[in-house]
Structure 1
Amino acid sequence: MSDPIETAIFEKLSAIDPKGDNGKSIEPAEVAKALQPEQWQRMMPKVRGMALGLMRQGRLTITKKGKPVDPNAFKGVIRLRYPTADETAAALAARPPVVTDDDDFA
């Protein structure tokens, strides 16, 4: 089952960039307002956190002034968009390696 924040992010993106190839972006506040119109400010940290997780998975790009941000060091006003193929590859390459041979439990 998908997280409602994740679902809202991708619904908003799909509405403005259906194929994900135009580079159009949304504000995180749009997602927060769609989820909780009356208290959307309270949703902002959760939306930003979900966006960060999706960026680390290579499924989303967080930008500032049109440029992708470093997921480990950003603050301020951001926007969200679909990643390019290169951005997805870079995000996946930056992930820690998966250890399949764990001798501790042998």
Structure 2
Amino acid sequence: MTDNPSRPSEEAVEAAILSVASQPGAARTVTPEEVARSVATGTDWQSLLPSVRRGALRLAEAGRLVLYRKGKPVAPADLRGVYRLGLPPGGDGATAP
């Protein structure tokens, strides 16, 4: 597989995570798939899932995002398997609490 020159940057993926999670009317949490679909330029959104995971981990480590596993917050170092993304309570993800 070759590199895609239109692939979004890591910063663009992080911005998309915060944007999707903060949309009015959005569910309390969002899936990584929703974020990947929002930044994909074509139908190959699945290839963006590793970038979304890396971005989510960075944002969670900075306190700008909460990672959920089985409906409960989980520390970035303990994240395994299926997960969801949410903003910190009362936060917009702009700054660390």
Q: TM-score, normalised by structure 2?
A: 0.73
Deviation at 1:73, TM superposition (A): 2.1
Identity of aligned residues (%): 38
In 1, Cα distance between equivalents of 2:80 and 2:25: 25
Partner of 2:30: 26
Of Structure 1 and Structure 2, the greater helix share is in: 1
Indicate which of 49, 54, 57 corresponds to 1:52: 57
Q: How does 1:1-80 map to 2 (within 5 A)?
A: 3-16=11-24, 24-36=28-40, 37-80=42-85
Answer yes or no: is the 8 Å Cα contact 2:22–2:87 preserved in 1.
no
In 1, Cα distance between equivalents of 2:16 and 2:63: 17
Deviation at 1:17, TM superposition (A): 5.8
Which structure: larger Rg?
A: 1
Deviation at 1:70, TM superposition (A): 2.3
- Aligned residues between the structures: 82
Deviation at 1:49, TM superposition (A): 0.5
Instruction: Flag structure 1 segments of 5+ consecutive residues without an equivalent.
Output: 86-90, 93-106
Deviation at 1:27, TM superposition (A): 0.2
Structure 1: which 4+ aligned runs deviate by more than 3 Å?
none
In 2, Cα distance between equivalents of 1:68 and 1:78: 10
SS in 2 for 1:3: helix
Instruction: Flag structure 2 segments of 5+ consecutive residues without an equivalent.
Output: 1-9, 91-95
